[in-house]
Structure 1
Amino acid sequence: MHQRPTPSTSTGIPSTSADVQTQSDEPGPSTSTAEKTWSTDPRSASAKKVAAILDSTWTRKDVKMLSPSMEGIHSVINQYAPEMFSFSYEGMLCRIYLAALHFNENTNRAQAMDREGNPAFSICYPRAKQTTGGYTVRKVLIKATHNFSKRIMEKVLLLCAAGADTRAKYPELKANPGYLTAKVTRPDKTQAVKEFVSRFGKAVEPVGRPEGTEGVVVPASKATKK
């Protein structure tokens, strides 16, 4: 084992090779053992430190803003499920699965080559840089592949030939959770109006109320107090 240089004793670090050798020979867990300790024992100090970092507010915000991976998968989802159209639950679920398969297959595409065998690049002119004449150089990647579609069609043909009930076999297709708005409890209109009036003004009877308007509630801000 290589020994590090031995500085002077004024720094508080042992200055003799024997002292260095004694420190390196002290019993202790190896790197792999230490990693297993915090990863398998949630009560260890190292596991608590890692959990505190992963559960921090800054980490959660950063994960939501991951780029360019998150932007890439969002653009692929928009290709398979355009926001201008409305899809059923099963249709949207299948389109998201297709987008994920497409993204995983083409996420690490190699750079294309030009006719001379050199890496290909392209120049684009973003709208934000048009006034200054700026530009952006981008790598030209090879064309995307869709080999996953062939495997899906082969699987579909096998399921159809076997007469399998896909809805009973796959839990994702068993139940439709319905629209999110269906789970919202709608308030009673009379109670909502009553709470609104009590919040923004006390209801009073104005002076000179026309006949036939008894029982109509008028906010205090618009009524004449007696």
Structure 2
Amino acid sequence: MKLRSDAQRNQERLVAAATEAFREQGLQVPLEEIAKRAGVSPGTLYNRFGGRDALIDAVMPALVESRVRDALTEASAIQDPWDAFARYVTLLCELQASDLALNDAVSRRFPDAAELTRICDAQMISSQELVDRAQRAGALRADFTAADLAYVFWSTSMILRATAGIAPEAWRRALGITLDGLRASAAHSLTVPPMTMDQVHTAMIGLGNRR
């Protein structure tokens, strides 16, 4: 259904304001602030989008999809299996570090933001081939799973928030330590099994629901 011209303008202003606010403060920015930036009432925002997740889905897929795809393409083209795996993880963490909205998109899930959820879940699944390659080469510890990548992204998310404006590159040191710990040569037996993808998804929704 075609929107009236004033409704269309309001929608465009809300999307632009949300894009700016999400990137500055993350996906949990108060919706009232977004409405204020857009010059409309909170009621207009809720009438147009229904809530946070629908607004996230109107903004974030366009910011995330091509960058995640490019990261996978770049990493997959690297011949050395370990370097390919490490490059992919680093690129995703760089994506997190580039702004708070992308940080939240990589490390959290918003259940009613269906398109963003589809993109981010597909990223986790697509990384499996890089994991398999590195393990077949004997470079990556054999008990690592693609679901374990969530630990890397969660820890990077917290490090970024804690060190922003203090030591903005600190996450790279932490990631370097983590990657060294994932090498097969450094592996010790783990006593706890990996989470399933469903468990990871549920945990990420829990993070996304924390207002």
TM over 0.5: no
What TM-score do you get using the length of structure 2 for normalisation? 0.24
More relative contact order, 1 or 2 (CA 8 Å, 6+ apart): 2
What TM-score do you get using the length of structure 1 for normalisation? 0.23
Larger Rg: 1
